[in-house]
Amino acid sequence: MPHRLLTIAAVLTTVLALAGCGDDDETTHETHTASNGDEYNDADVRFATDMVPHHAQALSMVDLTLHRELDPEVQQLAEDIRATQAPEIEQMTDWLTAWGEEVPETMRDHANAHGEGGMEIDEEMAELESADDAAFQDLFLELMIEHHEGAIAMAQAEQDEGLFAPAIELAEAIESSQKKEIGLMEDLLAS
């Protein structure tokens, strides 16, 4: 009899442990409904929350191209990045606000001048800012390729795990456009 009770207890412990694991997974993909009717999940929040400061970093890098002697293709690329990513930041900020989620500070905010990127981003930005004109263009392209690769990874995660259709569509657009821009930047570095 005691052996049988131990076996039942062991089975119940295993079942409860496995059930607990399932609950954690479900809460990760739990559907939320905003007051405006948007249905979204935690992956959508994570995508917007991470992409807003990431895009802001790219715009800060683009700001450093102003008043620099650059090849016309590189200058056009910088302007294209600004024209695309600034409205995307506004769009994602609007989603987070509508969902009642915190809008992250970025390195472009006065209150958080060297924000979310940490030491590595600060060092890379300082290196880019202090580069002479001869080194600036190649360094800008190298850093922007690396930056785009990070955005593509975030966009792919949103496509895999997100629920909010506009966020998934934006993630698809980010992945597509930034892959094309990486190809262009690699060509510019090779020439």
Domain spans of the chain, in order of start: 1-30, 32-190
**What's the confidence (pLDDT) of residue 15?**
41
Flag whether pLDDT at 187 surpasses 70. yes
- Tell me the pLDDT of the chain averaged across its residues: 84
Question: Which DSSP category does 32 fall into?
Answer: E
How far apart (Å, rounded) are the C-alpha atoms in residues 36 and 34? 5
Phi, psi of 41 (to 5 degrees): -130, 180
Task: For residues 161-178, give the mean pLDDT.
Answer: 98
Residue 19 pLDDT level (bands cut at 50, 70, 90): very low
> Which has more pLDDT, 121 or 56?
56
Q: What is the pLDDT of residue 3?
A: 44
CA distances from 76 to 56, 64, 121, 152, 183 (A): 18, 14, 24, 21, 15
Which of 3-17, 41-55, 174-188 is least confident?
A: 3-17
Under CATH, domain 32-190 is a member of which superfamily?
Ferritin, core subunit, four-helix bundle (1.20.1260.10)
Residue closest to 81 by CA, chosen among 153, 158, 178, 189: 178
Q: Please count the CA atoms within 13 angstroms of the CA of 62 that sit on its side-chain side.
A: 21
**Burial of 53 from C-beta contacts in 10 A (0-12 / 13-18 / 19+):** buried
Q: Give the pLDDT score at 168.
A: 98
Instruction: Evaluate if residue 129 carries a pLDDT over 50.
Output: yes
55 or 117: whose pLDDT is higher?
Answer: 55
Residue 16 scores a pLDDT above 80: no
56, 93 contact by CB (below 8 A): no
